[in-house]
Amino acid sequence: MFVLFLCNLSLAPAAASKNKVKGSQGQFPLTQNVTVVEGGTAILTCRVDQNDNTSLQWSNPAQQTLYFDDKKALRDNRIELVRASWHELSISVSDVSLSDEGQYTCSLFTMPVKTSKAYLTVLGVPEKPQISGFSSPVMEGDLMQLTCKTSGSKPAADIRWFKNDKEIKDVKYLKEEDANRKTFTVSSTLDFRVDRSDDGVAVICRVDHESLNATPQVAMQVLEIHYTPSVKIIPSTPFPQEGQPLILTCESKGKPLPEPVLWTKDGGELPDPDRMVVSGRELNILFLNKTDNGTYRCEATNTIGQSSAEYVLIVHDVPNTLLPTTIIPSLTTATVTTTVAITTSPTTSATTSSIRDPNALAGQNGPDHALIGGIVAVVVFVTLCSIFLLGRYLARHKGTYLTNEAKGAEDAPDADTAIINAEGSQVNAEEKKEYFI
């Protein structure tokens, strides 16, 4: 129900009326367009720089008077007076609705009446978006279609998609006018094929609109993707050696989580359960040896499927450590008694002891058989040389004795004379020996 206040205007003398018309030539009301969010408050202001006490009035798009100077003309609790003077008339409209949108008029009652228009724009706030089309869980490789929808926006809102904080551009966009023919319902559809990397990823639908004051509305959908396990075997050491322990870890990932893994060797069961201990996803091999060489397989299974990985084990020898060589002193010096053996044996011993067996392995543990054999050979050689030299020495002295014994018998005519000459020689020899003594 609207109540209008009627104002009676008195007629002034003709001379006064002419002066008013003349003075109102420079009077013009000034207004500005206003934009407000639905549910907010709009302030409508009308100003006159030069006013000689002429009345101001605000009226709505239906040409209903809202305020005449400081007098309220329309019974509406949402409309209030902000300021009223000869130079300004400001009113407020709270809890603005879409029906309040339109052209408002400020009138200056001069002769003739002067007016100024102000357009009130009401922004429709979009509703919180909703994402539809997701059914959990989704299998790896399936095509997923998600739809984001929002209503009540004016003008139509903008919808954008993000996955892993990266915007997706290839989407479908649809805009429909609502039944009130003022607001819009906007929807956007995202199609993509999922893989295991999408598991746990948040897909975000963001609604941008000028009524949201740079704070967009968002809807989020966390994806749940089921996929077959992926398996990888990780050894505890890259260079397994004989006698050392080895731990093989079967790293498996899948959705749902894979069941306990299965370990096999060369297509069969583990041959030595006492040394090959399975603990959870780990295979612990104690004290490696050459019989452990082979292909080890780890199998992981979940409700989606099965996967496996292989590891080829090659047990390496423990590297030998070279021992320092001990120099054995020459033993020939203590066993050789002749002068010749003493002077020659050090050289022979040094030469022989320095010769090594070319077929011997480097760094072989245990005694050096080549060195011992060389020493024995030297001792035998020196002993034989000593015996040979001693024999020659004895043979030389015996021959000299026989030669002296035969002297004096060579010139004898008969045996008796030879014997006498020989005895004479012995006498002479004895005499010589006595002489020398």
How confident is the model over 306-315, as pLDDT tens digits? 999 999 999 9
CA-based nearest residue to 51, from 91, 84, 9, 80: 84
pLDDT band at 395 (very low <50, low <70, confident <90, very high): confident
Domain locations in the chain? 29-123, 130-223, 228-313
Q: Say yes or no to pLDDT of 239 above 70.
A: yes
Where is average pLDDT lowest: 74-78, 235-239, 319-323, 386-390? 319-323
Same fold, 29-123 and 228-313: yes
Average pLDDT, the chain: 80
Q: What class has domain 228-313?
A: mainly beta
| Unique residue bearing structure tokens 């080890």 | 296
Q: What is each CA distance from 429 to 416, 425, 426, 432, 436, in whole angstroms? A: 20, 6, 5, 5, 10
In this structure, CATH architecture of domain 130-223 = Sandwich (2.60)
Break the chain down into helix, strand, coil percent, rounded to 5: 25, 35, 40
C-alpha to C-alpha distance for 91 and 69, rounded to whole angstroms: 10
| Residue 91 DSSP label | E
Instruction: Express each pLDDT in 23-78 by its tens digit.
Output: 445 689 999 999 999 999 999 999 998 888 899 999 999 999 999 999 999 999 99
Q: Residue 336 in contact with residue 388, Cβ under 8 Å?
A: no
The residue type of 52 is D
Q: What pLDDT digit, counting tens, does each position of 249-274 carry?
A: 999 999 999 988 999 999 999 999 99
The answer to whether 277 touches 284, Cβ cutoff 8 Å, is: yes
Domain 29-123 class?
Answer: mainly beta
Q: From the DSSP assignment, how many helices (H) and strands (E) are in the chain? A: 5, 26
Q: Which two tokens stand for residue 232?
A: 């990888």
Q: Is the pTM of this model over 0.85?
A: no
